[in-house]
A = this chain, B = another copy of it.
Amino acid sequence: MAVGEPLLLDSLAQRDEQLKREEGVTELSPMRLRMEKFTKEQQREIVQALEKLDGKKFRIDEWQRKEGGGGITCVLQDGNVFEKAGVGVSVVYGTLPKPAILKMRANHKNIADEDNIPDSLEFFAAGLSLVVHPKNPMAPTVHLNYRYFETTKPDGSPGAWWFGGGSDLTPSYLFDEDAIQFHKTLKEVCDKHDKEYYPRFKKWCDEYFYNKHRGEARGIGGIFFDDLDETVSDKENTFAFISDALKSFIPTYIPIVSKRKDMPFTEKEKEWQQIRRGKYVEFNLVHDRGTAFGLNTPGARVESILMSLPLTASWKYMYEPEPNSREARLVEVLRNPKEWV
């Protein structure tokens, strides 16, 4: 190789490190670096907003993956308002084996040419994930995740890319006004970008966050989507949508939890929250594809993946809410998802 020729054999991780060092991250940088920068900024803002409400500080762990990439995991545990709140950013540079390429090609033709599927491909994934479990059973658990995925062709040129994500609310006690407020904000954010997004992503959310073995939804939904690629919209517009959706988290959730965090509750109501927490654990460990993907990724940081689990949960045999109780109404809604806006 002649001096001055680009080092094509360098890994994507190395090339990105060099880019960041030499040019910083601007609107002209590759989406990989912009998404990493944006999620890290948002992580700081969200951590600050939750700390302000709670009064207790997050523990902040920065970690590296020896295969490339790394992340920042922030956890606030046993706080004043929050039982457990985890806000994590992860950046992964990795290699897709041929079976994974073939599988992904079903939805993303650009990943490789049909007549030339390579044995492996470099990929990049970056995202922010958060789960917040408040102490007060009247305050709902919330989950949010926005991620960007990209592959590189063997010659180093861009392959496929897509965004995914969403946000959903899981109350133990249902306040219709909270559910309406949560969905309303998400709908506004969606409508700003595409009127078809909200109905489509709301339905997708109800279908995805479904605890099949229990015959009920995990919570009262929100939005969820995967595979947002060039067949839906261009990269710039999709990033703008993702950015708006992520930025809407603080103004949506903080008011809801502020209203609920000091409400009185009984021991029995706390017990119900613990039962619902158990079902949350069931969904995450049995059905959630993201958790399964994480736990099966070599070198994955397990404690960052499982920060989504609540501090405490309970399983009581045959525990059923009393007929016509508030608990029974929640279950009714979980079995028959509602249109909130």
Contact = CB atoms under 8 A, between A and B. Distances in A.
Interface residues of A, number: 32
A222 interface: no
A77 B315 CA distance: 10
Nearest to A320: B303
Interface in A51-69: 59, 61
Interface string A298-315: 001011001101111111
A38 B281 CA distance: 35
Contact of A302 (B214, B278, B285, B296): B214
Interface string A276-290: 001001100110000
A101 interface: no
Interface in A244-279: 274, 278
A213 interface: yes
A147 interface: no
A75 interface: yes
A302 B274 CA distance: 18
Nearest to A295: B213
Given A295-B286, A309-B278, A75 B302 contact: no
Given A61-B318, A312-B312, 9 more contacts: A59-B317, A213-B295, A213-B296, A281-B281, A281-B285, A281-B313, A303-B317, A303-B318, A312-B313
16 contacts: A59-B317, A59-B318, A75-B317, A84-B315, A84-B317, A213-B296, A213-B300, A213-B302, A282-B285, A286-B286, A306-B315, A307-B317, A311-B316, A312-B314, A313-B313, A313-B315
Interface of A: 59, 61, 75, 77, 84, 86, 213-214, 274, 278, 281-282, 285-286, 292, 295-296, 300, 302-303, 306-307, 309-318
Closest 10 CB pairs of A and B: A285-B285, A309-B315, A213-B295, A75-B317, A312-B314, A285-B286, A213-B302, A303-B318, A313-B313, A307-B317
